[in-house]
Amino acid sequence: MAKTADYELGPHMFPRGWFLVARSDELTDKPIALRYFGQDMALYRGQSGTPHLVEAYCPHMGAHLAPNATSYIVRDREHVQGESIRCPFHGWRFGPDGRCDDIPYSSQAIPKAACIRSWTVAERAGAIWMWYDEEGGAPDIPLPAFAEWDAQDAGWVRWRFDDFGTLPAHPVEIVDNMADLRHMDPIHGSRGETYFDNEFVDHRVSQSFWAGHRTLVDDSPDAVLSSEAFYTGPAILQARLGGQHPSLMLIAHTPVEDGVIRMHHALMVKIADTRPSEEQKASARDYQEASRLALAQDVEIWLNKRPARTILQIPTDGPFGRVRTWYRQFYNPRSDAATFRKRVNGRDVRVGTARPAGALIDIRREEELTGGF
């Protein structure tokens, strides 16, 4: 297992950005334990339903704030009160900002040290996303809007997340895929590429790829799958796929430890022009399954490969070095991000000349589709 330092990505162990940390449906009214970025965390919903994410361990005597079924704090439904979480051990209570706001058996001032870390979170498109920044700054990269989530009346079927679990891979190996033109034929069954490019725009990078495909299109010889994939920040990859149905794929990978990630996949499918029937929803789920299987082909390689600290690159590979330089901006102080962006911004075309007509994305425009944060 190789670590951030082995790839010489920068001084930060983990990248700055937005990360998927839980599915909305796994966070009920019970706090849950999470581990990401080498830290134990407690995720809970306040009584308003808003999710909050705080450090796991109580500063009093170190109890975990989340998993407990037997304490009378939990049985008496005092575990979450308002937007605060109460420790199951002696009942100290912490607000979503991490400050202790009640010690039930003390009328003295609450000690300043009675404080835990907390992180900015947002709930969107069926998932809970956290902002992580080793410098502790506010978000400077947008969280995508995933607007199709609210476009059911236009025929979109919402995704359900596929959890690929924990993989012993550094996230840079997943990001390398953006440049990896030459795995498309052997791994994914593409044939007859007509176009491949990467475009770098600040915190975004895209990959546009047109080719025949053995699985996600019908069997006619001239059927073409267009895939336009783009990262917004270091860990949220979306792809607009032409194929049998227009669809939006998501791959989200979050560091668990240095060199270990957890990965989720999902696909929203436009299956009709109006609100989809149950039958159409089932077809969309089948289509998502085909997409999940395509990612599983990559995962099988990642699970068994040794780390590629350096790549033995030849000219007709894709621009791996440029993608890694782009990725380094997230491992360096944000004041240095502009230096990395300046080095990579622009377009690299490896197959074809002009982008085919009917291009689906313009990553600058995708930015306008992002909301909030």
Residues near Fe ion (CB under 5 A) are: 298
On whether the CB atoms of residues 364 and 243 are closer than 8 A, the answer is: no
Choose the contact partner of 80 out of Fe ion, ligand FES, none; CB within 5 to 8 A by kind. Answer: none
Q: How far is the CB of 268 from Fe ion (least distance, A)?
A: 19
Residue 89 lies near ligand FES (rule: CB under 6 A): yes
Distances, alpha carbon 362 to alpha carbons 204, 338, 371, in Å: 11, 21, 17
Residue 90 lies near ligand FES (rule: CB under 6 A): yes
Subset of residues 139 to 158 that bind ligand FES, contact rule: CB under 6 A: none
Q: Determine the interface stretch with ligand FES among 85-93, 118-126, 144-152, 347-355 (rule: CB under 6 A).
A: 85-93
Q: Determine the interface stretch with ligand FES among 24-32, 87-95, 108-116, 324-332 (rule: CB under 6 A).
A: 87-95
For the record, the structure tokens of 133 come out as 């920044």
Cα torsion at 202, 269, 216, 237 (round to 10°)? 20
The residue among 27 and 87 lying less far from ligand FES, judged by its C-beta, is 87
Cα–Cα nearest to 187, from 297, 306, 304: 297
Residue 92 lies near ligand FES (rule: CB under 6 A): yes
Q: How far is the CB of 365 from ligand FES (least distance, A)?
A: 49
Helix (H, G, I), strand (E, B) or coil at 233: coil
Q: Tell me what percent of the chain is helix, strand and coil, each rounded to the nearest 5.
A: 25, 35, 45
Q: How far is the CB of 93 from ligand FES (least distance, A)?
A: 9
Closest-by-Cβ residue to Fe ion is 298
Helix (H, G, I), strand (E, B) or coil at 333: coil
On whether the CB atoms of residues 270 and 276 are closer than 8 A, the answer is: no
Binding mask 43-82 for ligand FES (x = CB under 6 A): ---------------x-xxxx-------------------
The whole-angstrom separation of Cα 288 and Cα 371 is 25
Please compute, for residue 304, the number of CA atoms within 13 A of its CA located in the half-sphere on the CB side.
5
Residue 87 lies near ligand FES (rule: CB under 6 A): yes
CB burial of residue 36 (10 Å; 0-12, 13-18, 19+): buried
Choose the contact partner of 298 out of Fe ion, ligand FES, none; CB within 5 to 8 A by kind. Answer: Fe ion
Sites of contact with ligand FES (CB under 6 A): 58, 60-63, 87, 89-92
